[in-house]
């Protein structure tokens, strides 16, 4: 036994050494961990931030595992050999720091994952975050170097490779104040005061252009959504509360969207998609909880507006713009499109996308989505908003280093990708320590948090890495392929990537290590031992 332990230790030392050489060649920078009472974050400042170049597979026999864990792995890489008889250990962070008696290969729990690249499902459109007024404000206050690290962390290939972005048309709750274009003059269908962009949008556009420059993101796809029209277009003449769009402004509200698209395009950022409006039920049924900008729509009224006004107006100029429907919670999916179709059968034909917000997904089962998906299999289906801290029983303030929150994202990315989603857009890419700014104090957590006291650091949360385990390794154009597990010891989803290689995400939510064997009909067997509370992406040809 002693001899075996010794040779395992040597093997481990060798692995670490080989890993180190490979890493230094690629000029990768590891995470600088910092412990808070709530967990571990990676700290970035003006001169330092962690990045990982996409691992290259040296040959047909090699596999690479990229790992994150509660104990502190953050995109650590391990390589192994396909068809090896032994399990390759993924060494957890605490064991790297203080090696203990080896537990490698001793895991009693075991799972086999059968990957079949011939059984194919949806294509991946991409992953992203949101560029709200709050994000824009925070970035403006940080030094250019720190801004650039935030952009690169999310949107560069060495970061987590986002390619999608959501932004508000006018204001949202994540702004310093509610706002819309052409608030004045009132009651005016020509929108005479909406001929140029608001300075807040000009700032945002300048920042997004900088983001494109420093990240070299290919094919950035921006999606817009309006939270509210100018107040005078609404029945209640208020930013929030129970409201509808006044019938006499149906065409004006469609023209408003067209004008916004034209102005962003003229400013050099063509828009990829819009939705029919953020969370329409907030102005119909949820006014008690929602105190921020909203515009209420019932599905049948929205069907009329889409069919008579928005659809024809947009399609006359932007034939390929993706128009997303709903942009609201999962539980509305069962009835929303049915009622739209009942009112105006052609209304849903204008929609080329289905947008869903994540917030209640752990209560409402995916069957709500599956029904709509079955009827509309060709539309792009995305989560378009998600964040933690919105519920009364949760801490609204960012919990620095919360692995539990990171895992929540991991679980739900897995579920939605297994249910044919084409991608996921998260909410604010960065917020302050309070989870704002937000003009109605609707504070929440974010995947990165800036130190707005000293403006010298930002912290990358576990959520950043658990999202990255998917977004970084299943780029646009990847196809989900079958991955069947023999038991629930781990959860999994697999992709065939545009370069022909395979990425298998494996998530262990349990409190002990698991021996995982991935069986691929073409390549053979990959055996790894993964630690407790960890998530991994296995890459191979
Ligand atoms: C930035 O972070 C790096 C890595 O942790 C550290 O060595 C350096 O001192 C930090 N710079 C400042 C100005 O704090
Ligand atoms: C951010 O910058 C604005 C404008 O310069 C300033 O008014 C504000 O106080 C700054 N906020 C923080 C948190 O530094
Ligand atoms: C146009 O909008 C700007 C910005 O909101 C406002 O200051 C100005 O008074 C408006 N012009 C008219 C004619 O209402
Ligand atoms: C705009 O229309 C509303 C409703 O018809 C009316 O109450 C209001 O006085 C009008 N505002 C102006 C500036 O004409
Ligand atoms: C922000 O930086 C200051 C100064 O270094 C520090 O005292 C404070 O704890 C930091 N905030 C967080 C959330 O780490
Ligand atoms: C692994 O073994 C299987 C079965 O013997 C074989 O078909 C496959 O080619 C092997 N894979 C590699 C990468 O050598």
Q: What confidence score (pLDDT) does residue 287 get?
A: 78
From the number of C-beta atoms within 10 Å of its C-beta (0-12, 13-18, 19+), residue 335 rates as middle
Does pLDDT of 5 surpass 70?
no
* Residue 41 is assigned to a structural domain of this protein: no
* Residue 229 is assigned to a structural domain of this protein: yes
Instruction: Centre a 10 Å sphere on the Cβ of residue 46 and count the other Cβ atoms it contains.
Output: 16
* Residue 136 is assigned to a structural domain of this protein: no
Residues 268 and 339 reside in one and the same domain:
yes
Residues 410 and 535 reside in one and the same domain:
no
Pocket around ligand 1: residues whose beta carbon is below 6 Å from it?
A: 32, 45, 47-48
Please tell me the distance between residue 48's alpha carbon and the centre of ligand 1 in angstroms.
6
Q: Which ligand is nearest to the CA of 236?
A: 4
The mean per-residue pLDDT over the stretch 297-309 comes to: 98
Q: Is the CB of 187 under 6 A from ligand 3?
A: no
The mean per-residue pLDDT over the stretch 349-368 comes to: 92
**Atom of ligand 1 lying closest to residue 32 CA:** 5
Residue-wise pLDDT for 441-478, tens only, equals 999 999 999 999 999 999 999 999 999 999 999 999 99
Cβ neighbours for 400, distance < 8 A, ≥ 6 positions apart: 36, 38, 39, 41, 449, 459, 461
Give the 3-state secondary structure of residue 119: strand
Residues 269 and 403 reside in one and the same domain:
yes
Instruction: Centre a 10 Å sphere on the Cβ of residue 244 and count the other Cβ atoms it contains.
Output: 17
Q: Which residues of 443-469 are buried (b: 16+ CB within 10 A; e: fewer)?
A: bbbbbbbbbbeeeebbbbbbbbbbbbb
* Residue 158 is assigned to a structural domain of this protein: no
* Residue 447 is assigned to a structural domain of this protein: no
Does pLDDT of 346 surpass 60?
yes
Strand 74-81 and strand 448-450: the pairing is unpaired
Residues 286 and 422 reside in one and the same domain:
yes
Does pLDDT of 95 surpass 70?
yes
Residue-wise pLDDT for 229-247, tens only, equals 999 999 999 999 999 999 9
Please tell me the distance between residue 141's alpha carbon and the centre of ligand 2 in angstroms.
6
Structure tokens at 9: 């230790």
Q: What confidence score (pLDDT) does residue 323 get?
A: 98
Please tell me the distance between residue 197's alpha carbon and the centre of ligand 4 in angstroms.
25
Residues 204 and 274 reside in one and the same domain:
yes
Mean pLDDT rounded to a whole number for the chain: 93
Tell me how many domains the chain contains.
2
Residue-wise pLDDT for 156-182, tens only, equals 999 999 999 999 999 999 999 999 999
Q: Among 182, 183, 185, 187, which residue has the most ligand 4 atoms within 8 Å of its CB, making it the best to mutate?
A: 187
Q: What confidence score (pLDDT) does residue 217 get?
A: 97
Please tell me the distance between residue 399's alpha carbon and the centre of ligand 1 in angstroms.
23
Pocket around ligand 6: residues whose beta carbon is below 6 Å from it?
A: 60-61, 82-83, 523-524
Instruction: Give the number of residues written for the chain.
Output: 541
pTM of the model: 0.94
Residue-wise pLDDT for 53-68, tens only, equals 999 998 999 999 999 9
Say if residues 236 and 243 touch (Cβ distance below 8 Å). yes
Q: Among 138, 141, 455, which residue has the most ligand 2 atoms within 8 Å of its CB, making it the best to mutate?
A: 141
The mean per-residue pLDDT over the stretch 368-385 comes to: 94
Residues 245 and 318 reside in one and the same domain:
yes
Residue-wise pLDDT for 436-445, tens only, equals 999 999 999 9
- The secondary structure of 126-188 as a DSSP string is EEEEE--HHHHHHHHHS-HHHHHHHHHHHHSTTTT---EEEEESS--SSSSS---TT-SSSS-
Which of residues 367, 400, 427 is at a domain's end? Answer: 427
Cβ neighbours for 347, distance < 8 A, ≥ 6 positions apart: 302, 303, 304, 306, 307, 311, 340, 341
CA pair distance 189, 95, nearest whole angstrom: 66
Look up the CATH number of the domain holding residue 404.
3.20.20.80
Q: Is the CB of 37 under 6 A from ligand 5?
A: no
Q: If pLDDT is split at 50, 70 and 90, which confidence band does 11 have?
A: very low
* Residue 454 is assigned to a structural domain of this protein: no
Task: Specify the residue with its C-alpha closest to ligand 3, atom 10.
Answer: 184
Residues 114 and 191 reside in one and the same domain:
no
Q: If pLDDT is split at 50, 70 and 90, which confidence band does 2 have?
A: very low
Residues 236 and 363 reside in one and the same domain:
yes
Q: Is the bond into 437 cis (omega within 30 degrees of 0)?
A: yes
Please tell me the distance between residue 25's alpha carbon and the centre of ligand 1 in angstroms.
22
Residues 191 and 290 reside in one and the same domain:
yes
Q: If pLDDT is split at 50, 70 and 90, which confidence band does 350 have?
A: very high
Domain membership of residue 95 as a residue range: 61-124+478-541
Please tell me the distance between residue 36's alpha carbon and the centre of ligand 5 in angstroms.
11
Look up the CATH number of the domain holding residue 538.
2.60.40.1180
Q: Which among 100, 106, 111, 59 is positioned nearest to 80, based on CA atoms?
A: 59
CA pair distance 74, 67, nearest whole angstrom: 6
Structure tokens at 37: 């009472």
* Residue 265 is assigned to a structural domain of this protein: yes
Please tell me the distance between residue 479's alpha carbon and the centre of ligand 5 in angstroms.
42
Please tell me the distance between residue 123's alpha carbon and the centre of ligand 4 in angstroms.
49
Residues 113 and 171 reside in one and the same domain:
no
Cβ neighbours for 235, distance < 8 A, ≥ 6 positions apart: 243, 244, 245, 246
Residues 337 and 237 reside in one and the same domain:
yes
Residues 374 and 230 reside in one and the same domain:
yes
């Amino acid at each position: 036994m002693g001899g075996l332990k010794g040779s395992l230790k040597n093997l481990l030392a060798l692995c670490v050494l080989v890993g180190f050489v490979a890493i230094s060649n690629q000029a990768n920078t590891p995470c600088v961990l910092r412990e808070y009472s709530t967990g571990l974050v990676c700290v970035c400042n003006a001169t330092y931030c962690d990045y990982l170049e996409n691992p290259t597979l040296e040959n047909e026999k090699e596999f690479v595992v990229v790992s994150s864990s509660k104990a502190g792995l953050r995109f650590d890489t391990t390589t192994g050999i396909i068809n090896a008889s032994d399990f390759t250990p993924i060494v957890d962070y605490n064991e790297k720091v203080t090696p203990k008696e080896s537990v490698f290969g001793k895991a009693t729990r075991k799972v086999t994952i059968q990957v079949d690249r011939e059984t194919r499902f949806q294509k991946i459109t991409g992953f992203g975050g949101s560029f709200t007024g709050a994000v824009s404000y925070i970035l403006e206050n940080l030094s250019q170097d720190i801004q650039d690290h935030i952009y690169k962390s999310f949107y560069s290939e060495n970061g987590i490779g986002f390619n999608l972005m959501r932004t508000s048309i006018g204001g949202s709750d994540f702004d310093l104040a509610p706002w819309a274009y052409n608030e004045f003059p009132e009651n005016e269908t020509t929108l005479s005061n909406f001929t140029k962009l608001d300075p807040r949008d000009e700032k945002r556009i300048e920042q997004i252009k900088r983001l494109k420059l420093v990240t070299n993101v290919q094919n950035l796809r921006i999606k817009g959504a309006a939270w509210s029209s100018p107040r005078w277009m609404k029945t209640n003449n208020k930013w929030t509360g129970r409201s509808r769009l006044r019938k006499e402004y149906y065409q004006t509200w469609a023209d408003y969207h067209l004008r916004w698209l034209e102005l962003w395009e003229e400013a050099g950022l063509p828009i990829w998609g819009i939705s029919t409006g953020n969370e329409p039920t907030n102005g119909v049924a949820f006014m008690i909880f929602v105190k921020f900008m909203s515009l209420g729509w019932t599905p049948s009224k929205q069907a009329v507006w889409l069919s008579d006004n928005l659809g024809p107006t947009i399609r006359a100029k932007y034939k390929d713009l993706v128009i997303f429907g709903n942009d609201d919670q999962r539980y509305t999916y069962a009835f929303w499109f049915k009622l739209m179709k009942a009112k105006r059968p052609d209304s849903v034909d204008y929609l080329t996308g289905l947008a869903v917000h994540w917030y209640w997904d752990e209560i409402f089962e995916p069957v709500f989505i599956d029904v709509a998906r079955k009827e509309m299999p060709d539309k792009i289906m995305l989560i378009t908003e998600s964040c933690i801290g919105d519920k009364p029983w949760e801490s609204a303030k960012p919990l620095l280093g919360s692995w539990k929150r990171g895992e929540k994202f991991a679980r739900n990315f897995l579920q939605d990708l297994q249910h044919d989603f084409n991608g996921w857009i998260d909410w604010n890419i960065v917020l302050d320590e309070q989870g704002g700014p937000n003009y109605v104090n609707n504070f929440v957590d974010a995947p990165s948090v800036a130190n707005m006291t000293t403006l010298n650091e930002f912290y990358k949360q576990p959520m950043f890495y658990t999202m990255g385990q998917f977004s970084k390794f299943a780029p646009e154009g990847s196809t989900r392929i079958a991955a069947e597990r023999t038991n629930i010891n781990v959860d999994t989803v697999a992709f065939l990537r545009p370069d022909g290689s395979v990425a298998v995400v494996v998530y262990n939510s349990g409190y002990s290590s698991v021996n995982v064997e991935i069986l691929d009909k073409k390549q053979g067997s990959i055996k790894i031992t993964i630690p407790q509370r960890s998530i991994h992406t296995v890459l191979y040809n």
